[in-house]
Structure 1
Amino acid sequence: MHGLLPPHVGTLGSQIARRRRALEGMADDFHRYAFLRELQDSNEVLFHALVQSDLPRMLPLVYTPTVGEGCERFSDIWRRPRGLFLSYPNRNRIADILADPALDRVKVIVVSDGERILGLGDQGAGGMGIPIGKLALYTACAGIHPAEVLPILLDVGTDNVARREDPLYVGWRNPRIRGPEYDAFVEAFVAAVADRFPGVLLQWEDFAGRNAYDLLDRYRDRLLSFNDDIQGTAATATGTLLAAIRRTGEPLAQQRIVLFGAGAAGSGVAEMLVRAMMAAGLDEAAARSRIWAVDRDGLILSNIPRLPAQQVPLAHDPAEVTGWTLTDARIGLYDTVVNVKPTVLIGASGQMGAFGEPVVRAMAAGCAAPVIFPLSNPVSRAEAHPADLLAWTDGRALVGTGSPFGVAGVTQVNNVYIFPGVGLGALAAQASRVTDGMFMAAAETLGTLGGAADGSLLPPIEQLRAVALTIAVAVAAQAVRDSVATAPAAEMTAEAIAGRMWEAVYD
C-alpha cells in the first residue's frame, strides 16, 4: 500500500470533515443529495457517520425536502444498485429474488410503488428514492444496522408519460398495472416476504389513497406492518398538537379542527384525533363533531355522492351548515373557517398556498393562539410559508410544517419523530402486529417531550436518537398491554433497546 496511498492516516472524523467541506462547496441541495447517495453506495459507514454527525443539516438533504427532486431525477443520477426493483414482468420470480443470501439479516423493509410520491404524484421507479431515504433515517435515528434494512420498489409501471418517454428512465416502460393484476402482484410480494423474512417489519410508503388503505387493512394482521403516510403522519400531527395545547392550556376536547385535504394522510390524522379526543373524555359523536374536513370538492358532507371510504366517517350532516354565512354555493376552506372558527388548521392537501391571507386572518380573528400545520411536502407543495402565517396572525400562531423552512420557532412536524421509534419498539417487543394503540402511545409520548430552545413544539433534530429510544420504550410497553409482544421483558427495557442501536464506526 506504500506509494499507492499518501502518508496521511485518515480517521473517521477527518473523512467526515472532508466530505462536509465538499458538500458545502456544491451549488445546490440536489447536487448535495446526489453526492450523499453516491457516498452511501461507496462507503456506508462514512455516509451514516456523516449524517449522524449533523442531523439538522443532513436530514433535509437525505430526505424531505430534497428527496422530492431526487425522485423526479432518480434516473438521471442512478449509478449503482441499492435495494430491489420488483417489476411486474418478474412477478413469478419474487421468491427467487428475495432468496439472495445477502439479504439474510433484513429486519426492516420500506416499500413503495411510486404512485404518490410526496405531493409530486406518480414517479414510477423514481419512487425508490423514498424507501432509500426512509431507511437512512431508520439507521440514523433508530440505529438499525444498514445490513438489516431493505428498500423495495414495486415497479408496476407508471402513468407519468414524461417518465416513460425519458430515454434514461430506469423503470418498466408501461402504463401502471391496476385492478386484479395489481392485487395479485402485491399478494405474491407479501407472501414471499412473509416466507423469507419471518418477523420482519414492513413499512408501506407513498401508495395512492385507495391502495394505501386497502393494503394496510389487508395485510396489517398478516405482517408486522404499518403505513407511514396514514399512521405515521397521524401520530406525528397528533403528538405535535398535544404539545401545542400543553402550551396554550386549552384542552384537546375543546379544540375545533379544520382539516384541508382528506386523502390517506389527512384522513389518518382525523381518525387519530378522534381517538385522542375520545381518550380525553368525549364520546365518538362529540369527537367527530369537532373535526371538519375540506377536500377538493369542498366541505365533506354526507350528501356528496361516491365519497371515498376513508372520508365517509368525516362527513357532516348538511343540516349542520344550515344558516352558515357563505360566499359561494360550494363550501370551501374560507367559508368553513369563517363559520367553524377553528382553533386548529391542518393541511395535507399538497396545494401550495392554500392557506392564504384571507383564510388565516379569518382564523386568527376568532382564536387567540391559532395552531396551524401546513404539512404537505415538499416545500413547493406546502399550504403556506410559515413566515406569512406568523405575519398574518401578528406572531400569535403556533406553526408546524412538514418540511424545514428555517424560520425560528416553527416546528418541523416530520414523521421522523415517530416512525423510527415505532419500528424500533415493535422489533424490540417482537410484536406480532402494529396496533393503533402503539401509534397512540407514540403520539402521546411525543407530546410530552418538550420543545426546543427557539420555541418550537418538539425536541430539536439533534435529539432524534433519544426521541426514537423514548418512543420505542413506550411502543414496546403498549405492545405488551395490547397482547402482541412476544419478547422477554428484559429485552424491552430502555437499556436493552439502546444496546441494540448501531453506531456508525469502523469495526
Structure 2
Amino acid sequence: MTSHIKSEDTCPSGSTSVECSLSGFELLNSSLLNKGSAFLLEERSAFNLTGLLPPAVNSLHEQVDRAYKQLHFFKTPLSKSDFCTSMRVQNKVLYYRLVRDHIKELLPIVYTPTEGDAIIAYSSRFRKPEGCFLDINDPDGIDDRLSPFGDSRDIDYIVISDSEGILGIGDQGVGGVRICVAKGSLMTLCGGLHPGKVLPVVLDVGTNNKKLIDDELYMGNRFARVRGKRYDEFVEKVMTSLHKRFPYAVIHFEDFGVSTARPVLERYRRRYACFNDDIQGTGVVAMASMSAALEVTERKLSEAQVLIFGAGSAGLGIADQIVNHMVSHGVSREQAHAHIHCVDRFGLILDGMQDVSSPAQMVYCDRSVDWEGIDSKNLVEIVRKIRPTVLIGCSTQPGAFTKAVVKEMYKYNKRPIIFPLSNPTRLCEVRPEDAMEWTGYNALVATGSPFAPVNGHTISENNNCVAFPGIGLGAVLGRCEFISDKMISAAVDELAGMSPAKFDSKAGLLPDLEAIEEISARIATAVILEALKEGVVGVEGENSPLGVQVKVPRDFDACLAWVRSQMWKPEYSTLVRV
C-alpha cells in the first residue's frame, strides 16, 4: 500500500472517484491508479500527463481489445504469462478486465498449469518484484518489511507460503512468491477484493531443491530448508506481526509442505481468521463436486465409500472435509471415518503403520485384520475390496488410475465418481476421455486442471478458485474472528447447490467459471450467515462510510445484495487532484 491512496478509497466496493497526489511519470508508474490511454483530457491536464500520452483517449473496452490482440502475438503459454504479468504491474484495472473478459482462456495462463512453469523459472525470468519477502535470517525485521504495505485498514487479505509444496512441483524456494501473487490475484478476479488490499507474502526459510541452490541466478537463501524449533518460532513471529499490523486481514496459507501445513493451520485457526486452501479449499471443491454427483445419481452421502489415492495435505484435507460435512449432516464422526480409505506411498493406510504414517493419516486407517491375504499395495485389489463409490486422486502420479483400476470400480458401481485432481495436467491420475470410455460414458468425472469435453460431457475442473475466493470474501466482509468447520460446510452446500448437472446429465458438476463473481458472492453470503449464527462476525461493531453502524441482513437474498455491493470491479475511477 502506498501513502497517496487512502484506506477508504480501497474499500472492497471501490469508489467512483479517488483523491490522488501523484502526477506525471509517478502516476503512470502506479499500477493501482494508472489508466494509460484511458486518462480523460481533463485528467491529463490536471495531472501533467498531456505530453506523456498520445492524443487519442481510449475506453477500457478499447484497451482490452488492443491488449487481447497483443496477447496473441505470443505463441507459448509461458510467454503469454509474462505478458499478463507485465500488464498486472503496469495497470491493474486493465489486467483484471482483460482476464475477466476471457476467463476460460486466460485462467490457465495466469494460474495453473502455466503458473507452475513460471514459478520454476522465477529467478531466471525475474523482472519486477511483487509481494513481501520475509527472511528467516531476519526475524526481528519482519515488521519493517511489512511496513511499506500500510497499517491496520490497508490490507484485507494475506496469501502466505513457505513454498515447500508448490502446485505439484514441490519445493521452489523464494519463487513461491508467485503462487501467492497468483492466488491473491484470484481473490480480486473471482472474489472482488480490491487489488490494493491483497498482500502476497513468501517465507524464505531455505530450500532443499538442489537445482535452485546450484543455480547462479537463484534469488533466495542458499541453505537447506530450516525445520523444527527455529522454523516454528519464525512462523510465530510472522503471524504475530501480521496480525498486529493488519488486525482485520484474513490469512490464507498456501502450498506449505506436508509436515508443516496441518500443524500451522491447527496452531492458528482459532487465534486468527485463517484457512489453508490446499487442505480446506481443496476439500470444499471436492466435497461440493461429490455432493452434486451423489445427488444426480440419487445416492446418499452417508452410504458412500470414498477411496483417496494420495494422503498428503490435499488428500487429507478432502478426507477431513468429507468427515466434517457428514457430521454437519447428522452422521457421527466415527461413522464418517469408516467411510473413508486413504492410500499413500506405502499402500492402503492400516492400523499398525504408525512408523510410516503421520497421526493425521492414522485417523483414516483401516483394520489390518480385514486385509489379511489381500495385497493392500495393489490399487486394483484395494478397489475390489472396498468397492468405492468415489475414487479421488491427489497423488501427482500420472496414469495411476489404470484401465484395470477403473474397470474394477465399474464392476460394482455403474455410475462411478472419479476425480483425478492432481495438477498440472501432466500429473493427473487418469485422462477424462479414458475414464469415460472405460465406463461406457457412465462415470462422473471432475479434474484438477482444465480438460476438453468428452463426447458431449462437460468435464468440471475442480479448481479451488470456485471456492476460496468466496470463503475469503465472506470472512473479510464479516470481519470474522475465525473460520469454523460449519462455515466451510456452508460453502460446500452453497457450491453444490449451483451444480448444472442437477438439470443436465451431460453438464459439469460445478458451475461455469463465467459466473465466478456470482459463485463467490453466494458462497460469501452462506459463510457470513453461518458466522452470524456462531457469533463470530465483527463487522457489526463498525461504522459504514456513511457513519451508520453496519447491520448485516439475515435474509439470504438481502445479504447477497449486501455482499455484491461490497465487491470491487475492474472499472476506472475518476481521479481528483489533491
Change in 2 beyond 3 A, CA 1:90/1:279: closer
Q: Which residue of 1 aligns with 2:146?
A: 98
| Count of residue pairs the alignment pairs up | 503
Q: Residues of 1 paired with 2:531 and 2:458: CA distance?
A: 34
Gaps of 5+ in 1: none
Q: Residues of 1 paired with 2:314 and 2:560: CA distance?
A: 31
Q: Which residue of 2 aligns with 1:356?
A: 402
Displaced runs of 4 or more, over 6 A: none
Change in 2 beyond 3 A, CA 1:405/1:473: same
Q: Residues of 1 paired with 2:330 and 2:137: CA distance?
A: 52
Letter of the structure 2 residue corresponding to residue 194 of structure 1? H
Q: Residues of 1 paired with 2:322 and 2:201: CA distance?
A: 31
The structural deviation recorded for 1:143 is 0.7
Per the normalisation by structure 2, the TM-score is 0.84
Counterpart selection for 2:470 from 402, 415, 421: 421
Q: Which residue of 1 aligns with 2:7?
A: none
**Which deviates more, 193-202 or 314-323?**
314-323
Q: Which residue of 2 aligns with 1:410?
A: 459
Q: Residues of 1 paired with 2:141 and 2:329: CA distance?
A: 50
Question: For residues 419-448 of structure 1, what are the alpha-carbon distances to aligned partners after superposition, in whole Å with 9 as ceiling and x for unaligned?
Answer: 001011111211100111111100111111
Counterpart selection for 1:294 from 326, 330, 343: 343
Contact 2:470 2:524 survives alignment (8 Å): yes
Contact 1:294 1:332 survives alignment (8 Å): no
Letter of the structure 1 residue corresponding to residue 526 of structure 2? A
Aligned pair 1:497/2:563, yes or no?
yes
The structural deviation recorded for 1:314 is 0.2
Which is greater in Rg? 2
Task: Give matches, 1:111-130, under 5 Å.
Answer: 111-130=160-179
Contact 1:491 1:497 survives alignment (8 Å): no
Q: Which residue of 2 aligns with 1:481?
A: 533
Change in 2 beyond 3 A, CA 1:5/1:122: same
Change in 2 beyond 3 A, CA 1:2/1:304: closer
The structural deviation recorded for 1:320 is 2.0
The structural deviation recorded for 1:2 is 6.5
Aligned pair 1:72/2:124, yes or no?
no
Q: Residues of 1 paired with 2:378 and 2:185: CA distance?
A: 39
Report sequence identity in percent.
Answer: 38
Aligned pair 1:318/2:368, yes or no?
yes
Aligned pair 1:37/2:89, yes or no?
no
Aligned pair 1:150/2:199, yes or no?
yes
Contact 2:354 2:362 survives alignment (8 Å): no
Q: Which residue of 2 aligns with 1:62?
A: 110
Q: Which residue of 2 aligns with 1:464?
A: 516
Contact 1:428 1:491 survives alignment (8 Å): no
Task: Give matches, 1:226-305, under 5 Å.
Answer: 226-305=275-354
Q: Residues of 2 paired with 1:84 and 1:332: CA distance?
A: 45
Q: Residues of 1 paired with 2:149 and 2:461: CA distance?
A: 39
Q: Residues of 2 paired with 1:2 and 1:93: CA distance?
A: 42
Letter of the structure 1 residue corresponding to residue 113 of structure 2? P
Q: Which residue of 1 aligns with 2:34?
A: none
Q: What SS class does the counterpart of residue 270 from structure 2 fall into?
A: coil
Letter of the structure 2 residue corresponding to residue 70 of structure 1? A
The structural deviation recorded for 1:100 is 2.0
Q: Which residue of 1 aligns with 2:496?
A: 447
Q: Residues of 2 paired with 1:255 and 1:217: CA distance?
A: 28
Q: Which residue of 1 aligns with 2:134?
A: 86
Q: What SS class does the counterpart of residue 551 from structure 2 fall into?
A: helix
Change in 2 beyond 3 A, CA 1:305/1:2: closer
Per the normalisation by structure 1, the TM-score is 0.96
Change in 2 beyond 3 A, CA 1:403/1:46: same
Counterpart selection for 1:221 from 254, 262, 270: 270
Gaps of 5+ in 2: 1-48, 541-549, 554-558, 574-578
Contact 1:131 1:205 survives alignment (8 Å): yes
Aligned pair 1:109/2:109, yes or no?
no
Counterpart selection for 1:193 from 231, 242, 247: 242
Letter of the structure 2 residue corresponding to residue 459 of structure 1? P
Q: Which residue of 1 aligns with 2:546?
A: none
Contact 1:204 1:226 survives alignment (8 Å): yes
The structural deviation recorded for 1:397 is 0.6
Question: For residues 113-168 of structure 1, what are the alpha-carbon distances to aligned partners after superposition, in whole Å with 9 as ceiling and x for unaligned?
Answer: 11000111101011111111101110011110011000000011111010112122
Q: Residues of 1 paired with 2:146 and 2:332: CA distance?
A: 47
